[in-house]
Structure 1
Amino acid sequence: MTGHIFKPEWQCALDDLCARVYGIRSAVGDAWPYHCDPKDGAWDTTADGDWCGGHWVECLRIVGELTGHRAIEAESAQRAESLRPYLERDDAFRGHRFYYGAARQYAWTGNERFRTLALAAAYAVRSMAMKGSGAMPIGTQVQVRSTKLVGRDKACVDNVHPNLILDWWGHKETGDPTFVVGARRHLDHTIDQYVCEDYSTIEFRDYDPETGMPKGAHYTLLGANNDSCWSRGQAWAVAGYLRAWEATRDPRYLSVGRKLLEYWISNSDESLVPPYDFKDPLLKTDRASVPLDTSASAVVVEQLARMSILKDLPPEAEYVASKTPLFVEGLLRHLTSVDDKRAKSRGVLLNGCFNRPKNYATASELIWGTAYLLFALYYLKTGRVVE
């Protein structure tokens, strides 16, 4: 896609999302939005943003920029600064927290304190790599409210995105090869240990802390069973490998990202919004009872939108980027508009599934789903990524 496109109906969706961010801000006050039941419009909040605080920071920054509302931009910067105490938290999601928070604040404001904060986080996350394999663990203090699995001896397919996102930024800022060398080790390990022959993915493995090599069988935390394919994990893998190609131009990562995406397309309906698990056995007998997960699709859409605004793409990347409109339009079927009876407000991204095994927020508006769709439409609207 040598020239990105932005359809008129996408502008309506972007306007609805901006209005939604204003509404969420009014509803949560000083707290941090997490998930919302579309039926009653009530937000479940956290005191510190949990794993997705950086996403809310960037939502506020983007909406402040697009609407010219300087107070929202100022709040975005203030919230980014408030995440500083979590720099020392042994948590893979520091990558997301400080990339979407601090790194993008630096790019927008030019304030050096945000650059320093993002670089400190980049080196801290990079230092988590296991001996031997270079696999990136979830951490002993990984913060996700609905789960309690922690440890430097545990890694998951997700980690090609949250663990590595600051590597690409850190290398761009400093030229330090440590970031790219380390990221490549984890990416290559993940291909070997988490990507199946059909290009579905498994979710979790435990490791020997001395060798950094996997031990025992793989398992799931958020999928239907240990041999299933949790769709948000697949989304992190798609986005992670395509982002790795964007940063390195290594055709191997593009090839893996494309094949992961093709598995997605082959196992979704025409909207490309997937079930929460591509291999849930109930899909064969009672498909209507299996929740969708729009937040998984939003993760993919964000990365496709990034690729769509690049120029002079090679053919395989052009093919991947060409899927952007299909993914955007499928996701917008789940976004409420003015007078939409499915929710109390416009700009609500319906049908996000947080944690199906625990029956936790399985048909909800999830703040990271809203964020990734907003980010994608912002890139397509402006033709740039602020970083």
Structure 2
Amino acid sequence: MGALIEDNFKQAAKQYKILMKVIPEDKLPQTYDSINKKVVSYERTWWCTGFYPGSLWYIYEQTQDPVIRKEAERALNIIAPNQTYTGNHDLGFMMFCSFGNAYRLTGNPKYKEIIFQSAASLSSRYKPAAKVIQSWNSSKKFDGPVIIDNMMNLELLNWVSQNGGDSKYQEIAVTHANTTLKNHFRPDYSSYHVVDYNMNTGEVIKKKTFQGYSDESAWARGQGWGLYGYTMMYRFTKDPKYLKQAQNIANFILTNPNLPEDKIPYWDFNDPKIPDVPRDASAGALIASALLELGQYTPEPEKAKYLDVAKQIIISLSGPKYRSAIGENGGFILKHSTGALPLHSEIDVPLIYADYYFLEALKRYQDWYL
């Protein structure tokens, strides 16, 4: 595994040196359009813009390549203005995956200031009456939507409170996590994608999906967000109910009869057309990273089970079926992710966050299990 991880980081550096040459100066890469042979890039406020600089910092950490670091710093400059953005809940994805890794590796106080301001901006979306951070703004479709993905953005709030910031940020994170635990999960510990709240009363209006197969289905990446989110909440709080929740979500995923042999999930666990449906490598990478952390807090034999599946996922994603050859796929590392199948968007393509969580899983395996 040590040699495999080293090989993956070397390959990632080569791929990202290709990718960095074909993206616009003011946008960040999201995916690759194989028909038109071009990288698709988005404006700085798109929820995924933190994953490219975050991936570069993970690669730099392993390779110490100055070209990679310079590009990481350039990408940070593009998204720095997001620190005051309040248009949605994705400040954690945008600003902690990026500036969080940059600060961890450099100790640059400017980066810490940006992280703190980002937490303040995210907390502006907290609705005290409903005890949640509102994910998206109200629309014709939803009154006060909260999505399971929002669990991931709580890491930013927890970190700031525990690194010299106001304790209110962690209090918001804990309250949101508790409300989500109460309302987002079914008896089998699978998760709804969207819970719509009356933000004035906290009443649940409806439980729906936006990216999954159906309202009652288990959208694969959503299950990964929940697993990662509650594992992370246990890291910061040591509250046993979060650990138990993470273990229950892991059990749902790992014992699901529709989890393929190579452990890379189909895009939704309940699509009736399985196995003739797309995989989601991003969900696989995310789940692997989460399982590696969950194993840190769990005794045997569960720890061995989590580690075994995470290792299988890493090996699968490192093989030719999922990992790009040098020079292909626009410079992205992984193939076969699914963004939003019901919206006919990003189906069976590379996605920047698949690369990010794959690199994070590699680092975690190297740090904790080698």
TM-score (norm 1): 0.85
State the AA in 2 paired with 1:230. Answer: W
State the AA in 2 paired with 1:185. Answer: T
State the AA in 2 paired with 1:19. Answer: K
Q: 1:135·1:185 contact (CA, 8 Å) conserved in 2? A: yes
State the AA in 2 paired with 1:270. Answer: E
Partner SS for 1:362 = strand
Matches within 5 A, 1:207-226: 207-215=197-205, 217-226=206-215
Are 1:15 and 2:10 matched, yes or no? yes
Which of 358, 361, 373 aligns to 2:358? It is 373
Q: 2:286·2:354 contact (CA, 8 Å) conserved in 1? A: yes
Instruction: State the Cα distance separating 1:203 from its structure 2 match.
Output: 0.8
Instruction: State the Cα distance separating 1:177 from its structure 2 match.
Output: 3.0
Which of 306, 310, 323 aligns to 1:324? It is 310
State the AA in 2 paired with 1:352. Answer: S
Equivalent residue, structure 2, for 1:291:
278
Are 1:27 and 2:16 matched, yes or no? no
Query: What's the C-alpha RMSD, in Å, of the aligned pairs?
Result: 2.7
Q: Residues 31-61 of structure 1, C-alpha deviation per residue, up to 9 Å, x if partnerless?
A: 3111114576521112326211111111222
Deviates more, 1:313-322 or 1:224-233: 313-322
Which of 42, 56, 64 aligns to 2:60? It is 64
Deviates more, 1:130-139 or 1:108-117: 130-139
CA distance in 1, matches of 2:300, 2:54: 32
Identity between Structure 1 and Structure 2 (%): 21
Equivalent residue, structure 2, for 1:102:
99
Deviates more, 1:106-115 or 1:197-206: 106-115
Equivalent residue, structure 2, for 1:144:
none
Instruction: State the Cα distance separating 1:111 from its structure 2 match.
Output: 1.7
CA distance in 1, matches of 2:89, 2:301: 30
Unmatched segments (≥5 aa) in structure 2 = none
Higher relative contact order (CA 8 A, sep 6+): 1
Matches within 5 A, 1:243-322: 243-267=232-256, 268-283=259-274, 287-288=275-276, 290-307=277-294, 310=296, 314-315=299-300, 318-319=303-304, 321-322=306-307
Q: 2:49·2:94 contact (CA, 8 Å) conserved in 1? A: yes
Partner SS for 1:125 = helix
Q: Residues 119-162 of structure 1, C-alpha deviation per residue, up to 9 Å, x if partnerless?
A: 11112212322222311211339xxxxxx999781111111112
Equivalent residue, structure 1, for 2:342:
357
Matches within 5 A, 1:104-183: 104-140=101-137, 153-162=144-153, 164-174=154-164, 176-183=166-173
Deviates more, 1:175-184 or 1:93-102: 175-184
Equivalent residue, structure 1, for 2:223:
234
Equivalent residues, number: 363
CA distance in 2, matches of 1:150, 1:93: 20
Instruction: State the Cα distance separating 1:353 from its structure 2 match.
Output: 0.4
Unmatched segments (≥5 aa) in structure 1 = 1-5, 142-147
CA distance in 2, matches of 1:246, 1:320: 20
TM-score (norm 2): 0.88
CA distance in 2, matches of 1:67, 1:149: 48
User: Using a 3 Å threshold, how does the CA distance of structure 1 residues 137 and 149 change in structure 2: closer, same or farther?
Assistant: farther
State the AA in 2 paired with 1:300. Answer: I
Deviates more, 1:40-49 or 1:232-241: 40-49
